[in-house]
Amino acid sequence: MIKEIIMKELNNIDEDISIVIKDLTKNQWILKYNERDVFPSASLIKVPIMVEMFYAIQNGEYKLEEKINIQENSRVPYSIISELKLSEYPLIDLITLMIILSDNTATNVLIDLLGYDRINESIKRLDCNDTVLRRKMMDFQGAREGRENMTSPMDMAIIMEKIYRKSIVDIESCNIMMDILTRQKYRDMLPRYILDEVTIAHKTGELSGLNHDIGIFQLENIHYLIGIFTRNGKDDLEGKRSIGRISKLVYNYLLDN
């Protein structure tokens, strides 16, 4: 059984770890391990921000191709938008860059458009009580003051499955969100040791001492959701390797069974 294989692997892992795995084809949980542990969300908070923006688009408040002005004071480091210096971007490009490159400027612009209260109310409507947006990206002062963005593996699993099942926003929006998630450029965690061509709709998050990845693998015989969150390891690279090893074990087992 895959559950026993994973639990044995955990004996070789130094990090604190939480795992959720669900067979979406059969709608059955395979494993929930520390699934309600609450972590700093890192960039995973960008998924519910994306969802709320699509609610706003569905309500006619914005259009996907609408040009959004980028104020100079919105630009932060580690952002292609900050590097390119263009004054405006289509909204769909901001959403896409926020997810596939985890662009922090794009994220902060979307937070300004929507507002903290609205995003957090949307999260609560999804019954995700462990998740909260308290600060913008790169606001390290806010983090030091205790205003950290938080989430849990189960909360993120709820959101990802709703996107997959097209039960959140409208069907077209869910299709667009799934497509964006499959174009993720950071592939050093869940897909790390998987050499096959496989469609994975996922989002990563990382801070010093903390690594997360959650996504949906779409194999020919099974679609499954897997989220692995780690913290307090020896170093960040080892955390990513741990996620990659467990992901490969799950992939090989479900591929063959």
What pLDDT score was predicted for residue 199?
97
Query: For a pLDDT cut of 70, what percent of the chain falls above it?
Result: 100
Residue 73 pLDDT grade (very low, low, confident, very high; cuts 50, 70, 90) = confident
What pLDDT score was predicted for residue 6?
96
Residue 46 pLDDT grade (very low, low, confident, very high; cuts 50, 70, 90) = very high
Could you tell me which residues come within 8 angstroms of residue 27 by beta carbon, excluding any fewer than 6 positions away? none
Q: Judge whether residue 30 has pLDDT over 90.
A: yes
| CB burial readout 177-214, b (16+ within 10 A) else e | bbebbeebebeebbbbebeeeeebbbbbbbbebbbbbb
What pLDDT score was predicted for residue 138?
87
Residue 142 pLDDT grade (very low, low, confident, very high; cuts 50, 70, 90) = confident
pLDDT in tens, 145-169: 889 999 999 999 999 999 999 999 9
What pLDDT score was predicted for residue 57?
98
By C-alpha distance, which of 172, 158, 154, 204 is closest to 54?
172
What pLDDT score was predicted for residue 116?
97
pLDDT in tens, 172-193: 999 999 999 999 999 999 999 9
Strand (E) or helix (H) holding 144? helix 140-144
Q: Judge whether residue 140 has pLDDT over 80.
A: no
User: Residue range 75-101: average pLDDT?
Assistant: 94
Q: Judge whether residue 27 has pLDDT over 90.
A: yes
Distance CA 251, CA 257 (A): 10
What pLDDT score was predicted for residue 179?
98
